[in-house]
A and B are shown apart, each in its own frame.
Chain A
Amino acid sequence: NAGVTQTPKFQVLKTGQSMTLQCAQDMNHEYMSWYRQDPGMGLRLIHYSVGAGITDQGEVPNGYNVSRSTTEDFPLRLLSAAPSQTSVYFCATYKFPGVRAYEQYFGPGTRLTVT
């Protein structure tokens, strides 16, 4: 099992460009989330999904779009990149209910720089 995979690992964008960060999981988890990590701020929730076709906003959703057409994939779209979106982005999944309820499994991250 690959677990949670994210592509690309690194990306440099110019201000105003758009792109999609990919996240895929083979764990058959219903729940998927996107976080951004900035120095001294921990991780902040951008968007999350509780199942295919269902998404909701987190703490910092502005400038980002998501959709969930399958259980496996949860792409994050940057509509018009800004330097403030320079960050490390993590995708995470978890299953509920069960012994492992609420235990989030994180991907390796995508390091994005916007110039």
Chain B
Amino acid sequence: AQSVTQLDSQVPVFEEAPVELRCNYSSSVSVYLFWYVQYPNQGLQLLLKYLSGSTLVKGINGFEAEFNKSQTSFHLRKPSVHISDTAEYFCAVSEETSGSRLTFGEGTQLTVNP
């Protein structure tokens, strides 16, 4: 079985500052990795995914993430955040043999202050 740990429950930053949201995972088999964003009172939407290939993955809204197999990490980064990036961010993993069974981390609340 796989598990996901998001290392920070809350991350406050100032507008235009860079941000990194950290995600570590555990699995005995190869995995697919995802980041989802949830704005207040809405469902989740996909930011980016890693299935295979280049370990640096670019997503929507200027976000990117890097898959590090040796450190079992998939950290999310953005070089310059906006107020509109304030939301909760979820890292998720599924085993390659079972893409249906997503396991989510606990979430990181990103708050961008003016």
Interface residues of A (CB under 8 A from B): 4, 31, 33, 35, 40-45, 48, 50, 56, 58-59, 90, 92, 94, 96, 101-104, 106-109
Contact = CB atoms under 8 A, between A and B. Distances in A.
Main secondary structure of the interface of B (DSSP, over half): strand
Interface of B: 4, 9, 32, 34, 36, 42-46, 49, 51, 90, 92, 94, 99-107
B32 A106 contact: no
Closest 9 CB pairs of A and B: A106-B43, A42-B104, A43-B104, A106-B44, A102-B99, A42-B106, A48-B100, A103-B46, A108-B43
Contacts of A40: 9, 106-107
22 contacts: A4-B43, A33-B100, A33-B102, A35-B104, A40-B107, A41-B106, A42-B90, A42-B104, A42-B106, A43-B104, A45-B101, A45-B102, A50-B100, A58-B101, A90-B43, A90-B44, A102-B32, A102-B94, A103-B46, A104-B46, A108-B43, A109-B42
